[in-house]
Chain A
Amino acid sequence: MNDLTSLVDWSRAQFALTAMYHWLFVPLTLGLSVIVAIMESVYFKTRDPRWLATTKFWMTIFGINFAMGVATGIILEFEFGTNWSNYSWFVGDIFGAPLAIEGLLAFFMEATFIAVMFFGWKKVSPRFHLASTWLTAIGASLSALWILVANSWMQYPVGMEFNPHEMRNMMDDFWALVLSPVATNKFFHSVLSGWTLAGVFVIGVSAWLLLKKRNAAMAVRSIKVAGWVGLIGILGTLATGDGSAKVVSEVQPMKLAAMEGLYKGSCGQSIVAAGILNPDKKIGDNQAPYLFDISIPCGLSILAEGDPDAFVPGVEDLLAGISLTPEGDTIHGISYAERIERGKAAHDALRRFDIAKAAGDESAMLLAHADLKKDFDYFGYGYFDEAGEAVPNIHMTFYAFHIMVILGGYFLLFYIVILFLAYKQRNFLEGNKWWQLVAIISIPLVWICSEAGWVVAEVGRQPWVIEGLMPARAAISGIPTSSVITTFTLFAIIFTGLLIAEINIMLKYISRKSKENIE
């Protein structure tokens, strides 16, 4: 392994570690803040002290979780500078804006009103307190909006132009970033998945209360609120997931091929509902891609294009630049080998521009700029030597995608059943330990589902930090690999240590509080 590869991989590993830790806490914050706000709204309307007790019970858990989200979040923002400094310059003109707006519009709102939410019960009016609770929830979602706009832009870079004088990209259409189809789908998909996760968490903890026969009335109240929030969440997550798949097929077809483990595509392409990939399969060989699979005919064509006969390219088709017409005729597009060639031509043109600029040769600059424009769409490919470097980890993307989808389907069923029991079979809800155990076991499953979603999004878009424009290897900082290994280890130890403390505090709190009469 050469030095650059090692540095890139460790920088990736560190970002993945910190991002995945952060995402353990963020979706619970997004969903639980809404659940708590609804509970307090009911209390505000009814002035029923039981709703106040229920609100405070979940609010305390929210606070414990929120602290960890904040702790893990600060690293992510600054890592763009510490570990991906080239990236920060190359696209900072575009990427920095949503981050700054996030801070100004969302973080201050959260930071200000969460203090009122926790400490203001006896210091501000009930109306102001309720407003603070809602503003904390809104602040959390606003924060998600801007960081997801930024992330979506990395997946689908729009609204900018390259400036060869400064060797960086510059924004020229802000609304193209904010309203890109990737951003809108990703925002609703992520936020609503947070509602799904928080709903399962509240229902799982409530099920434990019912199992222990403690505070049953509060548990049922909580299940009803969490059930509705979670049902809306999972329906929205599934709908936006479908929208995301269509957008991905258009702007990141390689990711879609990896999600499905699809090497060779076809018209009327089936979708693998569940399967095991052949670990020996290599790009370009004739081995079967799956050891086992359950497929739905035409499913992927419908998912990706909304047309059962549409062609969906596989990894090998994309590398070769091949697609098929509905009649089966081959259309030759631009292969990855050609993209690499044109990417290198773009690099060469930029070099020539730089030399001409230093020499003050304006006509050479114009010529080089024209050449650069011609091939700039393939600029990022110029960093590769062979086409295979532009293919993500298919196994990880495939399994993460299928785990997410299967668990997503399970949670839809889960919420329907739970709400039915809560409203129509309350005795069963309170007395049957099997469903209660299922609900408790669902807590870790929903976190697996949520993390798997991000693995699909982020591993599936590798090796790009900016799709087609900048691979990870060109985005890094000039720091020694040993420094990144050291900080990776530090973060792993600190975050793991704090996670253990958080889980223990939550368990102790739930156990202790459940023994009091908080109904």
Chain B
Amino acid sequence: METYELLQSYWWFLISVLGAALVFLLFVQGGQTMLLGARNDLQRTMMVNSLGRKWELSFTTLVVFGGAFFASFPLFYSTSFGGAYWLWILILLGFVLQAVSYEFRKKKGNVYGTRTFDTFLCINGILGCVLLGVAVGTFFFGAEFTIQKGNLLNTTAPAISTWSPTHGLEAIFCWKNLLLGIAVLFLARMQAALYFINSIDDKTNYRQQRKAVLVNGGIFVLLFIAFLAVLLTADGYQATMQNGHETISVMPYKYFHNFIEMWWALALLLIGVGMVLYAYAKTILCDNYKRGIWYSGIGTALVVMALFWVAGYNDTAYYPSLLDPASSLTIRNSSSSRFTLTVMSWVTVIIPFVVAYIAYAWYSLNKKPITPDEMADNDHKY
């Protein structure tokens, strides 16, 4: 493999890692959708404060995911964000509401009341999970766009990418994308319940969250099986290099073939699914088991990475155009230059250090679970 191709593959790997981290951290959003159903104010306060110590991480991971995509695959950034305008704007609006809601919800003088900010958190929880799932769904099931770089010289209509007039709404109403989006929502809710079990020391909370794991996890498993069935029978786009030019054509069962041809992706998927199911079953069956979030979280991350790999590796168009296959994006035709990817790759040597300090801070804050007493005397709480 040439160095440039290696760099492109490396950056797709990093995108898959960030995507995996983001989907794991969506337990924050999942938890937010459960706040309005809390039994009383104390339980809600404990849930909010438990999530509140992590919301910045999920928010930041989304921002870094976007930044990394911009830097490594700018044609995707240009095409998707500018085209699926409403899809991304709705996601962003949800995160805007989230960013203030933790800090403002209990503060005196917040004008709109605690319930409004809790509703904002719920909106972000639903929009964030479902619409990010929809956005990832378009990686497999395509979007309605064409790209004509020569338009840059058209002084009256210079936009290089053209979209269907609904600008992202069509992606939201595509049932296949929605299937993934709703699956992500229930996964996030299950993970949130597992996180609450792990981070809140309260028996009432434990009982309620176990039920939540049972219900949300069950729905997620059904939806995920349906998604996998749709994915494995779906057509994908195959990119072929000929004389230095890339041609793209439709290939039946492309993602099924990708799993077969990339055994490591299949292995990762199966291990990930196994870990999620293990966490689900053990939490339901074993009394006082509280470590499910770690198995489920790591399993989720592995599954997401495997999905990104079959979307982008093995000469696959990771952003298929439903209007013009030749406009589809591959990691080859949409990436930054070799120089930029090299520079950026040097910067990534810092990643282990970043992961280490996040892990240490996480451990420091979570080594003692939240208790009702702590909520009574904590001088900074949400």
Instruction: Answer whether residue A436 sits at the interface, using C-beta atoms and an 8 A cutoff.
Output: no
Interface residues in B38-76 by Cβ distance below 8 A to A read: 53-54, 56-57, 59-60, 62-64, 66-68, 70-72, 74-75
What CA separation (Å) do A501 and B157 show in the bound complex?
41
**A interface residues, how many (CB within 8 angstroms):** 92
A468 to chain B, nearest CB (A): 16
B374 to chain A, nearest CB (A): 9
Q: Which listed residue, B83, B96, B153, B367, touches A350 by the CB 8 Å rule?
A: B153
Stretch at the interface among B161-169, B275-283, B315-323: B161-169
Stretch at the interface among B177-185, B214-222, B348-356: B348-356
**B interface residues, how many (CB within 8 angstroms):** 80
Instruction: Answer whether residue A68 sits at the interface, using C-beta atoms and an 8 A cutoff.
Output: yes
What CA separation (Å) do A508 and B106 show in the bound complex?
13
What CA separation (Å) do A123 and B378 show in the bound complex?
11
- Indicate if the CB atoms of B67 and A102 lie closer than 8 Å: yes
- Indicate if the CB atoms of B109 and A509 lie closer than 8 Å: yes
- Indicate if the CB atoms of A104 and B81 lie closer than 8 Å: no
Instruction: Answer whether residue B77 sits at the interface, using C-beta atoms and an 8 A cutoff.
Output: yes
Q: Which listed residue, A60, A85, A104, A168, touches B64 by the CB 8 Å rule?
A: A104
Beta-carbon nearest neighbor of A132 in chain B: B361
Instruction: Answer whether residue A121 sits at the interface, using C-beta atoms and an 8 A cutoff.
Output: yes
What CA separation (Å) do A90 and B92 show in the bound complex?
24
**Given A4-B156, A478-B82, A479-B85 in contact, is the A504-B111 Cβ separation under 8 Å?**
yes
Q: Which listed residue, B78, B85, B95, B161, touches A92 by the CB 8 Å rule?
A: B78
**Given A74-B59, A351-B150, A473-B158 in contact, is the A80-B340 Cβ separation under 8 Å?**
no
Beta-carbon nearest neighbor of B357 in chain A: A112
Instruction: Answer whether residue A356 sits at the interface, using C-beta atoms and an 8 A cutoff.
Output: no
- Indicate if the CB atoms of B67 and A96 lie closer than 8 Å: yes
Instruction: Answer whether residue B227 sits at the interface, using C-beta atoms and an 8 A cutoff.
Output: no
**Given A74-B63, A85-B78, A88-B81 in contact, is the A490-B343 Cβ separation under 8 Å?**
no
- Indicate if the CB atoms of A78 and B53 lie closer than 8 Å: no
**Given A100-B71, A171-B340, A487-B89 in contact, is the A501-B379 Cβ separation under 8 Å?**
no
A100 — which chain B residues lie within 8 A by C-beta?
64, 67-68, 70-72, 344, 347
- Indicate if the CB atoms of A97 and B104 lie closer than 8 Å: no
Interface string of B136-172 (1 = CB under 8 A from A): 0000000000000110110111111111010100000
Choose among A118, A383, A507 the residue with the greatest number of B CB atoms under 10 Å from its CB: A118
Instruction: Answer whether residue B337 sits at the interface, using C-beta atoms and an 8 A cutoff.
Output: yes
Beta-carbon nearest neighbor of A508 in chain B: B109
Q: Which listed residue, B70, B156, B354, touches A104 by the CB 8 Å rule?
A: B354
A131 to chain B, nearest CB (A): 10
- Indicate if the CB atoms of A64 and B103 lie closer than 8 Å: yes
Q: Which residues of B contact A (CB under 8 A)?
A: 53-54, 56-57, 59-60, 62-64, 66-68, 70-72, 74-75, 77-83, 85-86, 88-89, 92-93, 95-97, 99-100, 102-104, 107-112, 149-150, 152-153, 155-163, 165, 167, 336-337, 339-340, 343-344, 347-348, 350-351, 354, 357-358, 361, 364-365, 367-368, 378-380
6 more contacts with CB within 8 A, not counting A85-B77, A107-B64, A497-B112, are A64-B103, A64-B107, A74-B99, A86-B152, A116-B361, A167-B150
Q: Which residues of A contact B (CB under 8 A)?
A: 2, 4, 56, 60, 63-64, 66-68, 70-72, 74-75, 77-78, 80-86, 88-90, 92-97, 99-105, 107-116, 118-121, 123-124, 128, 132, 163, 166-168, 170-172, 174, 347, 350-351, 354, 383, 473-474, 476-480, 483, 487, 490, 494, 497-498, 500-502, 504-505, 507-509, 512
Which 9 pairs, one residue from A and one from B, show the smallest C-beta to C-beta distance?
A92-B74, A85-B82, A81-B81, A478-B159, A508-B109, A477-B82, A96-B71, A103-B64, A71-B99
